[in-house]
Chains A and B, each alone.
Chain A
Amino acid sequence: GQNIDQPTEMTATEGAIVQINCTYQTSGFNGLFWYQQHAGEAPTFLSYNVLDGLEEKGRFSSFLSRSKGYSYLLLKELQMKDSASYLCAVRAEKRNYGQNFVFGPGTRLSVLP
C-alpha cells in the first residue's frame, strides 16, 4: 500500500520558523513534492526533492531522506499569508510509464500575530 503521514495542524507565530514533517511508505518512489493550498483555492507548487538533502528556495526549504522515508518543509520568517495547508506528495513511478501522485492529508498551518 501507499501511505503518507503529516501532522494535522500546527500553529506558529509571525516571524518564527516552523518545520512540517512528512513520512511516507510508497512503491516506486520517484520524487517528493510540497504544495501550498489556501482555503478554497487550488494547490500551488513549492518544492521538489528527488535526491537526499536540502533544497532551499527563499524562505522555504525542503529536506529529503529516502532511506528513512522522511521529508520536512521549513518555513522561515513566517508571515500571516503563510497560513494555509501544506501538502506532501510522492510521485510513484510504475511500469509501462504509469505513475501516480499520492498526496498526504495536508498540515493546516495557522500563523498568529
Chain B
Amino acid sequence: DTGVSQDPRHKITKRGQNVTFRCDPISEHNRLYWYRQTLGQGPEFLTYFQNEAQLEKSRLLSDRFSAERPKGSFSTLEIQRTEQGDSAMYLCASSLARAGLYEQYFGPGTRLTVT
C-alpha cells in the first residue's frame, strides 16, 4: 500500500457548482478524517469516521457539506453550491484505532479553487 490517496489533486469550479472529492485511506486503517486547510493556517477538523460510522462532525461543516464512507473503505466529501470561501486545501487522513496508536497519515490533498 502506497499511503493515503486523494482525487482529484486540483479542482477549479464556478461558484454555485457542486464538487465531490474522494479519499482512499491506507487499507487496514479503520479511522478516516477530513480537514480543511487555508494558506498559513493549520488544518481545521471537519469530520471523522470509524469504519462506516460518522462519529464526529465539526460545526464548521455546514449543511452544504456532506461526507460518506459507505463500506468503511474509501470516503467522499461533497460540497454543494460552492462559495468562494470554500477555496482551500481539503486533506484526508487515516489511522488505525489500536491502543497507543494515534498517528494520522495524511493524503496529498485536493486543492479547491472557487471562481
A residues neighboring B (CB under 8 Å) = 4, 31, 33, 41-45, 48, 87, 89, 91, 94, 96-106
**Do A101 and B104 touch (CB < 8 A)?**
yes
Interface residue count for B (Cβ, 8 Å)?
Answer: 22
> How far, in angstroms, from A80 to B93 measured CA to CA in the complex?
27
Chain B, residue nearest A101 (CB): B45
The tally of CB-CB contacts under 8 A between chains A and B is 53
**Do A99 and B42 touch (CB < 8 A)?**
no
**Do B41 and A105 touch (CB < 8 A)?**
yes
- B21 in the interface (beta carbon within 8 A): no
Point out the residues of chain A lying under 8 angstroms from B42, CB to CB.
4, 87, 89, 103-106
Chain A, residue nearest B43 (CB): A103
Distance between B32 CB and nearest chain A CB, rounded to angstroms: 13
> How far, in angstroms, from A41 to B4 measured CA to CA in the complex?
13
The interface stretch among B50-58, B63-71, B74-82 is B50-58
